[in-house]
Amino acid sequence: MPNPNRGSCGFQSREFEQEYERPSKSQLKREMTALQKLGEELVAAPRDRIERVPMPEDVRDAILACRQIKDHEGRRRQLQYIGKKMRTLEENDIAVIRKTLDSWRGLSKADTAAMHALERRREQLLKDDQALTDLLSRHPDLDAQRLRALIRNARKEQSENRPPRAYREIFQILKQLQEQSHTAAAAENQADEREN
C-alpha cells in the first residue's frame, strides 16, 4: 500500500541543495588525468625538444628522470609524480606546453606529407618519361644525363630485385630541389616584407 504522506512534508526539495562553486570530483580527476597524459607525451619526446619547452626546472627534471627509468612500476610512479608537478603549474604555463606539443605534431604531419609527395614524384619519374621532361623544364640547372642514368638504373634495380641505390639517390635529388625552392620562397617573402 502506498504511503499517503510521501512527498508532502511541507518543504521544497531544493531548499537543501547546496550550491557548489568548485568543480566536481569527476571533473578534477579528468583534469588530473589530462595533465598526466600531457606529461607522458613530454616523456616520449626527444630530449632536445623537452629542453626547449618553456617550463619550470623541477618539472623538466622530473620528466628527464622518468626517461631514465626502465622498471614498469617505478616509471608508473614517476609519471604520477609528473602529473602532480604539472598540477602546480599555472594555466598559462600549461597552455604554452600544449601549444608546443601541438606544433610538434603539426610539424611532423607536414614533414610526412612532404615526404609522401616526393615519393609520388619519384614514382612518376620512373613510370613516365614526360615527368622527367617536365622536371627538367622547371629546373634547367639539373644534370639531365645523370638523372636519366639514375632513372634507368632504378628501373633495372626494381626489375632485378636489387638494393635500391639509384632509387634512393633520385629521392635525395628531389628533396634537395624541394629545399632549394622553399629557401628561395622564404627569401622572396622576406624581400617582399622589407619592401612593404
Query: How far apart are alpha carbons 153 and 157 in whole angstroms?
Result: 6
Residue found under cell 598559462: 92
Residue 8 CB burial class (10 angstroms; 0-12, 13-18, ≥19): exposed
Query: How far apart are alpha carbons 150 and 169 in whole angstroms?
Result: 8
Same fold, 25-89 and 110-187: yes
pLDDT in tens, 10-22: 555 555 556 667 7
- Assess if CATH 1.10.3260.10 describes domain 110-187: no
Give the whole-number percent of the chain exceeding pLDDT 90: 20
pLDDT in tens, 100-144: 888 877 766 777 788 888 889 999 999 988 998 999 998 888 898
pLDDT in tens, 145-159: 999 999 999 999 989
What confidence score (pLDDT) does residue 46 get? 86
Q: Where are the domains of the chain?
A: 25-89, 110-187
pTM score: 0.47
Class of domain 25-89: mainly alpha
Distances (CA, A) of 61 to 35, 57, 147: 16, 6, 50
